[in-house]
């Protein structure tokens, strides 16, 4: 996929991943200020059945959805993983199992693409 026309060498693109509780999310951010895409997969309907968030269910649902959410965020931004300057991920606070899904995915992607990993507390 081609880069958007307004991409310059000075621009910094971050793929951001969030999985701290019951929503799996990914976004592409340009220069720390411009959101090029923001994709969220909510689990609210599922957890409503139980009267609140069930950590084990949340973690399993993140595993099911994280690749789709990331692919959609990149597609919506018009950029590819190769265009990213770094991978960002939330590592706290949140549900431990849910956070592990996002952190593991971000670490694997950063390693495979030879990109820096930026871990952040929200």
Annotate 64-117 with DSSP letters as a single string: HHHHHHHHHHHHHHT--GGG-SEEEEEEESS-HHHHHHHHHHHHHHHHHHT--E
Average pLDDT value over all residues in the chain: 93
Residue 101 neighbours by CB distance under 10 Å:
23
Let me know: does 103 contact 52? Beta carbons within 8 Å: no
Given 3.40.640.10, 3.30.420.40, 3.40.50.300, 2.40.50.100, which CATH number is that of 15-121? 3.30.420.40
- Scan for tokens 């269910």, then name that residue: 57
Domain coordinates in residue numbering, the chain: 15-121
Q: Has this prediction a pTM greater than 0.85?
A: yes
| Predicted confidence (pLDDT) per residue in 59-80, tens digit | 999 999 999 999 999 999 999 9
Let me know: does 30 contact 13? Beta carbons within 8 Å: yes
Distances (CA, A) of 38 to 10, 51, 54, 63, 97: 22, 27, 25, 18, 23
| Predicted confidence (pLDDT) per residue in 4-37, tens digit | 545 567 999 999 999 999 999 999 999 999 999 9
């Amino acid at each position: 996929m081609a880069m958007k026309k307004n991409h310059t060498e000075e621009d910094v693109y971050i793929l951001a991943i969030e999985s701290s509780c019951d929503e799996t999310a990914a976004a592409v951010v340009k220069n720390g200020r411009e959101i090029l895409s923001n994709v969220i997969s909510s689990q609210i309907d599922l957890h409503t059945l139980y009267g609140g968030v069930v950590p084990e269910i949340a973690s399993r649902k993140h595993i099911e959805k994280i690749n789709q959410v990331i692919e959609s965020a990149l597609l919506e931004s018009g950029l590819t993983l190769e265009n990213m300057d770094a991978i960002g991920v939330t590592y706290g606070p949140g549900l431990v199992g849910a956070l592990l899904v996002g952190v593991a995915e971000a670490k694997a992607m950063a390693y495979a693409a030879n990109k820096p990993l930026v871990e952040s507390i929200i």
